[in-house]
């Protein structure tokens, strides 16, 4: 153990080589001289730990911004916005749009999100920052798969919604309008869900068989091998990406349209074909 005089010598200006130890040495010297004061002790410890807390905050900020690289590209959805590094433009229809960092939710399960595990914006940024490049690519691919499924479903719904109203009159069956349990609607919903699940099953089986035969090309999001007319097969890589982007753009527009249909009919209580008859030849 060091004596009180040793502590004083460390705390003196001459002990410049022991600068990192001067703060603790002064604290120990004060304790041995005047006795223990809890309030003063807490104040001293807060002062000594302040640099560590500042360093931790700096590390968090650096981690949160690691997703933005020096070669970050401009986002196409907003003038002056910068796309995060995990949206590098390699995917079709990538406009660099993820202002809420929702890609981080790909690593969270639905039950966890529904039971209060929804991370805040800063937490989502840290989740993305701590991912490896492989994990980021997997998260982006999972979110793109979900987007393309919803886009295709919305395109079918955007066409079927007004068509059903034109053929049978009244509002189309929906969650807000009701009618999902009437007539053949439940049977059709089960049939459609089963058909979609079967197509996905065939795609997964084909991918598993290809992987068992050796290295295979990575599967594109939403690619279930459905191309009966051979449109994609006859095109080059650039044209295939362009066609995929066009499908996605139309799907995004359809998602907005179907949301508008549901909101309009819920608020005004009349079929959308009657609210905008000029769109439907009325």
Buried b (16+ CB within 10 A) or exposed e, 79-92: eeeebbbbbbeebb
User: What six digits make up the tokens of 85?
Assistant: 């590094």
Judge contact between 18 and 10, C-beta under 8 A. Answer: yes
Residues 190-226: tens digit of each pLDDT: 998 898 888 778 777 766 766 665 555 566 777 777 7
Q: Determine the pLDDT at residue 173.
A: 86
Judge contact between 106 and 98, C-beta under 8 A. Answer: no
Look at residue 172 and tell me whether its pLDDT is greater than 50: yes
Interatomic CA distance for residues 273 and 236, integer angstroms: 40
CB atoms within 10 A of CB 73: 15
Residues 6+ apart with CB under 8 A from 270: 171
Q: Determine the pLDDT at residue 7.
A: 44
Residues 236-255: tens digit of each pLDDT: 878 888 888 999 999 999 99
Residues 45-86: tens digit of each pLDDT: 677 777 777 666 655 555 544 444 445 788 888 888 899 989
CB atoms within 10 A of CB 268: 11
User: To the nearest whole number, what is the mean pLDDT of the chain?
Assistant: 78
DSSP type of residue 229: T
Interatomic CA distance for residues 64 and 62, integer angstroms: 5
**pLDDT tier at 185 (50, 70, 90 boundaries)?**
confident
In the block, which residue shows the tokens 């069956």?
173
């Amino acid at each position: 153990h060091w004596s009180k005089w040793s502590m004083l010598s460390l705390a003196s200006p001459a002990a410049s080589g022991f600068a990192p130890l001067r703060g603790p040495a002064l604290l120990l010297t004060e304790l041995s001289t005047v006795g223990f004061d809890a309030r003063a002790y807490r104040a001293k410890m807060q002062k000594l730990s302040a640099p560590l807390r500042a360093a931790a905050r700096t590390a968090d900020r650096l981690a949160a911004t690691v997703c933005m690289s020096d070669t970050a590209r401009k986002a196409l959805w907003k003038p002056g916005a910068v796309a995060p590094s995990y949206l590098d433009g390699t995917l079709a229809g990538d406009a660099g749009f993820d202002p809420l960092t929702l890609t981080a939710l790909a690593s969270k399960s639905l039950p966890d999100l529904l039971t209060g595990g929804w991370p805040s914006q800063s937490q989502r940024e840290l989740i993305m920052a701590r991912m490896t490049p492989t994990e980021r690519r997997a998260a982006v691919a999972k979110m793109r798969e979900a987007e393309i499924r919803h886009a295709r479903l919305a395109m079918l719904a955007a066409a079927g919604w007004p068509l059903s109203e034109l053929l049978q009159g009244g509002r189309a069956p929906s969650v807000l309008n009701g009618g999902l349990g009437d007539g053949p609607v439940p049977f059709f919903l089960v049939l459609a869900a089963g058909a979609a699940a079967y197509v996905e099953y065939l795609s997964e089986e084909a991918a598993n068989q290809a992987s068992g035969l050796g290295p295979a090309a990575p599967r594109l999001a939403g690619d279930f091998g459905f191309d009966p007319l051979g449109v994609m097969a006859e095109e080059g890589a650039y044209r295939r990406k362009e066609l995929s982007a066009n499908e996605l753009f139309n799907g995004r527009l359809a998602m907005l349209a179907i949301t508008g249909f549901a909101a309009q009919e819920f608020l005004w209580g009349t079929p959308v074909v009657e609210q905008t008859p000029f769109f439907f030849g009325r």
